[in-house]
Structure 1
Amino acid sequence: MQSKNKSVLKSEYPNDMLRIPDLEPVKRSREFQAYDPTVRSRVVYEYIFNSKTHRWIDENIIGLNSTESRGYQTMGILHYIGLKDKHKGIFKGYSMNDAIRVLQKQHSNFAMVIDCLESLNIEGKSMKDLNEFDHMLFQQGLHNKEYVIGNKTKYYIITVKIEPDVVSPNFLSKYLVYLLEDDKVLKHVDIQSGVTKQLLTLAKKEGIKLLHQQNPMVKIEDVTMIHYKQGRNKNDWQKDYGEDLADLFEEFQESLNSSILKTSFNDIDSERSEEDDYYNDGATIYYYGRRYERNPKNRAKTIEIQGLNCAGCGFNFEKVYGERGKDFIEVHHIKPLSTIQEEVAINPETDLVPVCSNCHRMIHRRKDEVLTIEELKELIKRQSNTGD
């Protein structure tokens, strides 16, 4: 053998006899999961067909600054699949169909590699034939910040249309939805369907959802929505103007408020069920005394304004408990309820604060020494620094 990348030289054996080194997959999937299937497929193709380096692929396929990324994103994708240096350029000079045929005849499982190549070889097309959507061109546009149109904003929601005939053999329409913060891609999802009508609207709504998951307190003036479609006469990147973004923002907020308000009623009832007098005749009298902090509208407004992270320690129930913890947080009344003798107007922005159960207990543990949020945070910081 004269090549470290090929177990058996192509010139010595017919295509279907080429023996491919076994894959060596690793468990780390962060980089693999971070990019959509089209990008991953292009990464695999450039590596095993064109012998491109990790840095080159980071720069030209993923759209990163390779000086900063140093090829680690590409390396993570390839290593998760199991492709190592011995696989680099192993199919140089082969057609896509021949490569797939060779992989199918191996004793080891090359299913992930085959899936990547088949997604780029739809109906027998080669990479050069897939002109309907050039993913490299899109990634280069991201890298060059072509989405910045007019005044620059902190967040960008980018919807990317991919024509049905280059998505899958099932001819599904597809949109990629990207969320950027300070010019960095935070998240992306695929939206696809056999029905194209309203699919763009669904993609935009998914972008708004991703945005609020990242920053529940985001302001509309900090957001720009861009629609990317290759092949336009003037510019592939177009900014959404008018009231479209505002309408989507308002619709999402109304839906969120409705969900939070419903959850607030349920959470309040769950809290009351823990009390001894919940089922007693006098429960309503006791409940009146605590209704300032338990008013579901005040609670929902507090969550809308201040979010669902604990103001003391930053704990988030959904991140730890998943769906069961969604939209849950306790609400602490900054002014002790025992000092309130009559019904008063409550400002959810200044009078209430979201806290986790642990912090809430510690705040009230000593009834004659109720902690402020600042005192609680200082206590946590001091204990963290001492390592206790």
Structure 2
Amino acid sequence: MPSPQETSVKSVVVVPFDREASPAPLRRLVDEVPERWHTVDRSAHAPHIVAVPGDGEDWTAAALVTARPQTSYLKIVDAVGDVQAAVRAVVAHARGQGLAQVKWEGWTASPEAAAAAGFAPLSPPLTPAEEGAGPDAGYVRWLRDGAGTEPPYYGQTTHFTCGAVTALVAQAHAGTLPREALDRRAELTLWRDATNFLACEPVGLGVAVRRAWPSSPVTVHLDTERPVLLDHLPEKEQEWRALLQRTSRTEAGRTGVPVDPRRLSLTAVRSAIGRREHVLLLVSLAGMQGFDVPHWVLCHGVVPGAVVIEDPWAQAAAGDTWVDAHLLPVPDASLDTMSVISADHFRGAVVIGRPQRPDVSSGEPAAG
């Protein structure tokens, strides 16, 4: 991310953005910046202005830019003035930082303007954003090769169904689940089979995926023997959930789901993706969002230095939208750190292999 001090990169001016007071060159450039620049507190995602200098202290173009911490992209919220010049400046700024990607929210950007700047359209989310929580369209420009194919984006509709959503998106990306079947009914049905109330722990999630899609090989990676994701609960609440987790391990043995006690390395994650497998990875949101909450993401692509994930949740209150969460490149070192969970420092993952035979079911997960 940019330094708190103003810097220049190849005639690009970068200054921090304060929603309470716009820089004077920005006020001279446009009569009024979009209201969303000031109504959302984006401070958690290092908002800054990337501008193109003109005569004297004036600017000819500017863009409001943000990004989640510990990631490898920049996101253009809006560009004003000479829009194409502003976007070129952001791309140059991203290249200067060695980032993998630039995204552009489609609040005002047209498909034609995005294409002219070298951006490709993102597939719109399958779940509609709440009013004002995200744009209808978004665009991406990769600065590194090899990201792979784009999965559908589906935002979880509850606070607790991230595990189920990542599994469903993985199967839709693999072609095992029709995209039209990725809906709230499928989300809640798979969650109901996988839940440890309310979270989905790795073994229970792996067993539920195997039940739902018997043709898909599943391996759970969990480098601890004790029950997980329970430390925040009172002792009485932990006891019965721990019993359910032991039951899940028994069910894993019965249904042929291996539970590998070795820690899954980032090298192994990359290898699985290279085999066109999907990795559901349990991470903490402390690095990307500022609060230590366990959360499932889908690892489905790689570029040099980063793993491409789908995050089914976006923090609208911080200006974070589906454009941030979709096709999100996370540096290997960052992902390695954020996927070590709780005081036990365990890592949990579910690897879904390529189907061994075509599914003959309707494509919706079984109810368990």
> Scaled by the length of structure 1, what TM-score is found?
0.27
From the two aligned structures, give the one with the greater strand fraction.
2
From the two aligned structures, give the one with the greater helix fraction.
1
Greater relative CO (CA pairs within 8 A, separation 6+):
2
User: Of the two, which has the highest radius of gyration?
Assistant: 1
